[in-house]
Structures are given as structure tokens and as C-alpha cells.
Structure 1
Amino acid sequence: MPSIPRMLQPGNRGSGRAPADPPTPPVPSARAVVDCGVYVDGVRSQGTQDFRRSLAQVRESGEGFVWLGLHQPDERQMNDVAEAFGLHPLMVEDAVHAHQRPKLELYDDTVFLVLRTISYVDHDSLEVANDIVETGEIMVLAGRDFVITVRHGDHTHLAGVRQRLEHMTDHLKLGPSAVVHAVADRVVDSYLAVVSEMESDVDEIEERVFSTKNNDVDIDVVYLFKREVLELQRAVYPLVMPLARLSGNKSTSDMSPVRFDSPVMSPDAKEIRRHFRDVADHLTQATDLIAEYDERLTTLLNAASTKVSIQQNTDMRKISSWAAIAAVPTAIAGIYGMNFDHMPELHWPYSYPVLLTLMVCVCFTLWRTLRRNHWL
């Protein structure tokens, strides 16, 4: 017996509505997992990458910690992770939506660190460059027995960090704090790499602006780099205070330093603080270079604007000079073009050559005077 169409079945007649689309199946949280491992005494344990089983293994044995890496998780995926690790809802919201300012926050026994990453964009010439730097974002959530890294964007600079750290057994023994340091160190080193690559561009702009041979200054290029430096400042400068807290520097931080001797991090607080002080020192170098570039670009912007104004004034003086020279024959032609009958010079046989000679002499005198005064 043939089946009855759904729209003609009893209860659906006259409804006039199409059947609803089937719900989209949820994306499993494992899709967002880049890697997951259990580390005991600085050595990665063999086993599954499922973060739930890994966390259960660590908490049952009371040894080691779980390192979970995620890439652009959605809200449902992050909620699954939060449920397993006991994360605060505000951390979940920030980890999903990203676009956060670099910061360090404490949620009970969990440290939440936000880092902005930057990457230098190669370009053939300054005229065709649209962007000099591109940004990404890394969030690190560290607790007593776990650390979660959440990446947003393609320029996060985390490739190879886990493999490199797995060969540093002594450092990895420090626990989740070692992972936090490794991520922060990698990001800050990328800052130094980017600002070093930008130096040649800034030098080239400076050479163009102050070049005596180049009178056509493209001020848009200076504006482009000024904008990119401002983007660097927004990514780098806010990280000064979080690193001051992580390194235990009370003099530069209005907030209390993070207690690494608490259950949140490694009990070896002095050792890990030494590592974070080294990262903070590298960050200071990056901020100093960015401040130098900003000052140089501001000077170049003012110099380029002044050079453009001077060039415009020079052009206007030349135009005015030629207009003054052209006014002489124009005035004479206008007077004798009025066709009055009683003009004695009209009937003089030498009137035409005399007037031509007079016009040439006056124009030449004006040209020589203006040229002597550097108007032409």
C-alpha cells in the first residue's frame, strides 16, 4: 500500500506549513581538540587523548596533570570541557568569543591568562602592503592538575611548543606553571621577532621621507605603519601587568602577585618566577622597540606633512610667478585691443616692434628677478 504524504495525513490538512528541517547534529567536543596528554614527573604518559579519561586518570592517581589543547571551540564544545574540568562560566564565555584584551584573572583555583599573538606579513613593497601584522589569540586556563590552551586564529605560534617542552623534562616537572611559562615565552619571543622585522620597513620609510631626491612623499604609507604600531601596542602593552604578577614583581603591579605556592600552580614558586621574570624582560625589550617606532613614525608623519606643505607652497609660488609674467603681455594686449581711434602709437610705424620688445624685456626682467629669489 503506498504511503500517505505527510501533508495529507490526518492532523496536517490545512496547516499550510512545510515540515521543519531536522535539527543539526551537535559537533562533538573532540573536533576542537588539537592534542591532549597526561604528564607525570615531566614525562608524557601513554594512553588515550580523551580529556575526560585523562583527567580521571590524573585525579585517581593524584599525580601529574592534563594538558589539553583546543582550537576555536564553539560554545557547546567549551561547555563540555568546562563541565569536565569545573571551569567558571565567565571563563567559558571569554574562551568562546575571544577578542579579549590581554589579561590575567584568578577564578578560585584556576588561572586565566589571555595573550594576543602577532605575525609579520611579508610584502613585496610598501606601496602594495595593506597589512603589516596579523593577530591571533591564545587563552591559557591552568589549575592544580590541568592546563588548557585555547587558540583563536591562524597566527598563534604554538606549533612545536608541546614537542619542545616534552624534551625539557626538568622544566615540565614544575607542573602546569611550566606550560603557562612556555606559552607566554613563545608569544613574547614572537613579539621580538615581529618588531625586529619591522625595523627595516621603518628605516625605509625614514629614508624616503628625508630623501632630498624624492619630493613625492606617499604619506599613506606612514599612516599605514602608524596604524600597525597602534595595533601592536594594543596587543603587547596590556601584557606588562599580567607578567609582573606572574613574576612576583610588586613594584610594577598594583595587584597582588599570583601565588604559585598555592594549589593552583607548582610549589617551586621561586624557580618558576625566575622564568617569568625572563619573559617579562623580553616583553620590556619589545615594548621599548614599539615605543621607539611609534615616536619615529610620529616624527616622520610630521616631517612628511611638513614636506608636503612645503612642496605645495613651492608649487604655488611657481604658479604665481608664471602668472605674474603672463600678466604683462596680457595687460598690454588688453590695452591695445580696445580699438580706440585716438591712440598716438597706432599710427606710428614702429609701434609693433617696440611693444614686442618692451613685453619681452619686462617678462625677462620679472623672470630673472623671481628666479634670483628662488620662486622659479
Structure 2
Amino acid sequence: MPPIHTIPGRWRARCALTGVLAAVAVLCGMLPAGARTGLNWLTLPSLPTARYDVASAAAPCPRGQTGSCLYAVGGYNNGNLATVESYNRSSNTWSLLPHLPSARSSLGAAAAPCPDGLSGTCLYALGGSGGSRSVNFFNPAVNSWGSTTSLTTGRAAFGTASAPCPTGQTGTCVYVFGGIGTTVLASAEVFNPVTRSWTTLSPLSAPRYNLGAASAPCPPGQTGTCVYAVGGSDDNNHVVGTVEAYNPVTRSWSKVASLPTPREGLGVAATGCPPGQQGVCLYTTGGANETDVVDTAESYHPASGLWTSLPSLPAPRGYAGAAALPCPPGSTGNCVYFAGGYRDGGPAATLEALDPPVTTGR
């Protein structure tokens, strides 16, 4: 691997920061390697378009298909992309969809109720390269894009996830936090599709960019669903293992056990836990340390506050999209999908899925 400045998320994010202006692993609570039993990585059909700094989410399949699909939105390959593709796990095939209204990378994606009084679930594409404030939504029922209220703060390389709205609001909201705007950000905001409005939230404990995010059960001592902000790099460009959970009920952040392997540009998703644990766990895959992309995979068990070491990716990869949805034919339960990314000095088209055994769902 060439020197660190060629790792895309770090170099391009630093350039953005400069233009406008080794982390310690915490191994406490790490479960033994024996916890790996029963999980394996599946290699699936490659993305039609290789890219990194791509956003992914699980959402209803586009018109003419049924079930849930994996979406790959935007990204970078010799320039910012407007490309949107979906993977149908039932047919094990990819579909090319209408392009984003504007090409961008380092954006966020999440599934939530459609805005503007539309019924059903939409795929949201938020922010991105250049500190974009754009918020677009793809309506699978009609296979078309629309626009809605812009981000309060333009940002790229941030965390985003859908979860229950904060106290005082109802339904499912889209959370956005951290990233890079005119500087590295700690700020957080939430979008309510019903009111089409953004609300400012309490900030992260410190600015971070290239972090991962997902919603999962809250950590020990709390109830309900929380939004997790995982890893990333700080405003000194140091990779960190910090993990914080935002509780929509208390409208506050709390720190939980740090990543055993600090990294940025990692994929994060939530689904059934690995063997020996019950409930829903947070899965972290790939990413980069201070010098290179990595093949690391780990899971966090909110009920116990423990991290588990998982089977490594078949090859190191970072800055990819991640989401959880039903496994492809031949496997049962939900899988954690890891799409595209950066490897071997350039963009990747790889799609792989971690297949945990079936456990209790949410």
C-alpha cells in the first residue's frame, strides 16, 4: 500500500479541511476468538460500478421488485459519481437506477418514511463532498428522486442512521452527526420526514469525521433504541476508537466501550448477534488505521457492553457501504453486507456479506 496520503478518505478529507482551513486500542471486554464459530463471509456479485466513499442502506426494492434491497449511492471513481445501484438478494442481481440529482461522494444514506405526505419508505441521500447541504430522497414505489429540506450544516464524511425521533417528536427520523464542513464537526442534527424540518441536537463529545453509524439497542443501563457513532478520525487527523450512543429519549450522548481496533472509513450495521449472544448487535467491518486499509471485523453487544472479534474480511477494504438485510438464497436470517470501497490502491466493486447464524431479532 502506498503512503497514508493515498488512502482516499483521509487524504481527500484532509485536503477539504486544509482548503478551508496512533490511537490506542481498548481491549477490555473483548471476547475470545472462540466466539467466531458459526460466522462466514459470502462473496456475491460485484457492483456494476466500482467506487469508494459510497453510501449504502437497506430499503424497499425498486418498482417491479419485492422485498428489501441493498442500495449503493454515489461515491468516487476518477471523480464524484451520481450512480445509484440496488442489489436484490432474492435474485442475486444488481439493477441500475436513476442517478442522483447531483454527483457526490462521502455522503450519507438512510431509509425512513417518505416526506411530503408520500406513503411508504424512501431512501435518503444526504450531504457529501464539498460540504453539500443537499437532501434527496428516492421513492422506490415510483423509481424517482425528489428533494427536501437541506441540512442545517453542510458536511461530508459524517455518520447517519435512522432511529426513533427524539423526545417531543414521533415516528422515525434521520440522524446526522460529525463529518467535515468548514472544519471537522461535532455537531448533530435530526430530520423529521413528517414536518420536513431539521432539529439541532447535542453534539458529539469531540469532532470526528470518516466515522460509522447505525441504530441498535441502547447500552447497559438504558432502554430503547440508540444511534451509535463509531470510530473515525479527530480534528488532528488521528484515528480514534471512540464509540458514543445517542439516546433519543434523554436527548443525550454517552460513551460506551471503545473499538478494540480503532479505525476510520469503517462500515457499521446492526442485526442479530453472533453465537453465544442474544438480541441485536452492532457490526463493524473494514476501514483504515493510520497507514492502511484493514480487514478487521468486530461486533458490539449492547446488553453486555462487550466487543467480539469476528472473522476477518477476505481482503482489506475500507470506505465502503454497509447495511444489514436478509441474506441471499442459501443462507438464513440477516446478513451484514459490505459494498464497494477502496483496496489495492483503487476503487473496488466487491460485495461480501457476513452471515451470522439466526438469533433473536429486534
Tell me the TM-score range normalised by the shorter chain: under 0.3
Higher strand content, 1 or 2: 2
Larger radius of gyration: 1
Q: TM-score, normalised by structure 1?
A: 0.22
TM-score, normalised by the number of residues in structure 2: 0.23
Highest relative contact order (Cα 8 Å, sep 6+), 1 or 2?
Answer: 2
